[in-house]
Chain A
Amino acid sequence: MNYLPSVGLEVHVQLKTNTKMFCGCTTAYGAPPNTQVCPVCLGYPGAMPVMNVAAIRLTVLSGLMLGCRIGAHSKFDRKSYFYPDMPKNYQITQYDQPLCLGGGLVIELGGQTKLIRLTRIHLEEDVGKSTHYAGCSGVDFNRAGVPLMEIVTEPDISSADEAVAFLLALKQTLLYAGVSECNLEEGNLRCDVNISVRPEGTGKLGTKAEIKNMNTFKGVQAALKYEVARQIRCVAGGGRVVQETLRWDPDLGETFSMRSKEDAHDYRYFPEPDLLPVVLADAQIEAWRATLPERPAERRARFMHVYGLPAYDAGVLTAERGVADFFEATARLCGNGKAASNWIMTDVMRLLGESGRSVTQCALTPEVLAELILLVERRTINLPTAKGLLPELFEQAGRPAELVATRGLGQVGGEDEIGRLVEQALAANPRVVQDFLAGKQAAAQALVGQVMKLSRGKADPQMAGRLVAERLAARQGGAAVS
Chain B
Amino acid sequence: MALDIDQLTVRQAVVGLRTGAYSSVALTQAMLEAIATRNPAVNAFVWLDEADAMRQAEAADRARQAGQQGVLLGVPLAVKDVLNVDGHPCSCGSKILRGYTALYDATAIARLRAAGALLVGRTNMDEFAMGSTTENSAFGPTRNPVALDHVAGGSSGGSAAAVAGGMALAALGTDTGGSIRQPASFCGCVGLKPSYGRISRYGLVAYASSLDQIGPITRTVADAALLLGVMAGRDALDATTLDQPVPDYNAALTGDLRGLRLGLPREYFVDGMDPEVAVAVRAATARCRELGAQIVEVSLPHTRYAVATYYILAAAEASANLARFDGVRYGFRATGEGAPIDMYKQTRAQGFGCEVQRRIILGTYVLSSGYYDAYYLRAQKVRTLIRRDFDAAFAQCDALLTPVAPTPAYRMGETMDDPLHMYLGDIFTVTANLAGVCGLSVPCGRTAGGLPIGLQVLGPAFGEERVLRVGHAYEQSRQGEAL
Using a CB–CB cutoff of 8 Å, the interface residues on chain A facing chain B are 39, 42-51, 78, 80, 82-84, 87-90, 137, 139, 266, 268-270, 273-276
Interface string of B211-244 (1 = CB under 8 A from A): 0000000000000000000000000111110000
Q: Which of A44, A46, A139 has the most CB of B within 10 A?
A: A46
Most buried by B among A80, A274, A276: A274
A276 to B240, CA, bound (A): 7
Q: Which listed residue, B239, B329, B364, touches A48 by the CB 8 Å rule?
A: B239
Whether B83 sits at the interface, judged by CB under 8 Å, is: yes
Measured CB to CB, the nearest residue on chain A to B343 is A84
Q: Which residues of chain A are within 8 angstroms of B90 by Cβ–Cβ distance?
A: 45-46
- A selection of 24 A-B contacts at a CB cut-off of 8 Å is A44-B329, A45-B205, A46-B84, A46-B204, A46-B205, A47-B202, A48-B201, A50-B238, A82-B341, A83-B340, A84-B340, A87-B324, A88-B323, A89-B320, A137-B340, A139-B328, A268-B364, A268-B367, A268-B369, A270-B317, A273-B208, A274-B206, A274-B238, A275-B239
Interface residue total, chain B, C-beta cutoff 8 A? 44
Q: Collect the chain B residues with CB atoms within 8 Å of residue A49's CB.
A: 239
Among candidates B203, B317, B326, residue contacting A89 with C-beta atoms closer than 8 Å:
B326
Give every chain B residue within 8 A of A270 (Cβ-Cβ): 316-317, 320, 367, 372, 376
- Residues of chain A with a CB closer than 8 A to B328's CB: 84, 139
- Which residue from A78, A82, A90, A274 sits with its C-beta under 8 Å from B239? A274
> Which residues from chain B sit less than 8 Å from chain A, CB to CB?
83-84, 90, 92, 97, 100, 102-104, 106, 201-206, 208-210, 236-240, 316-317, 319-320, 323-326, 328-330, 340-341, 344, 364, 367-369, 372, 376
Cβ-defined contact, A268 with B368, below 8 A: yes
Q: Is the CB of A46 within 8 A of B317?
A: no
Is B324 a contact partner of A45 (Cβ separation < 8 A)? yes
- Contact between B100 and A46 (Cβ–Cβ < 8 Å)? no
The complex places the Cα of A42 from the Cα of B331 at a distance, in Å, of 13
Chain A residue at smallest Cβ distance from B323: A89
How far is A83 from B340 in the complex, measured between Cα atoms in Å?
8
Shortest Cβ gap from B132 to chain A (Å) = 22
- Determine whether the beta carbon of B324 is less than 8 Å from that of A43: yes
CB pair A45–B209 under 8 Å, yes or no, is: no
With A45-B100, A47-B202, A48-B202 as given contacts, are A80 and B323 in contact (CB-CB < 8 Å)? yes
| Cβ contact within 8 Å between B237 and A48 | yes
Contacts beyond the supplied A44-B330, A50-B239: 20 A-B pairs with Cβ under 8 Å = A43-B329, A44-B103, A45-B90, A45-B324, A47-B202, A50-B237, A50-B238, A78-B320, A82-B323, A87-B324, A88-B320, A268-B320, A268-B364, A268-B368, A268-B369, A269-B372, A273-B317, A274-B209, A274-B240, A276-B239
Q: What's the nearest-Cβ distance from chain B to residue A437, in Å?
A: 90
Pairwise interchain contact A45-B316, C-beta atoms closer than 8 A: no
A54 → chain B closest CB, angstroms: 15
Enumerate chain A residues within 8 angstroms of B210, measured Cβ to Cβ. 273
**Is the CB–CB distance between B324 and A89 below 8 Å?**
yes
Q: How far is the CB of B284 from chain A (nearest CB, A)?
A: 35
Interchain residue pairs A-B with the least CB separation, the first 3: A89-B323, A268-B367, A273-B209
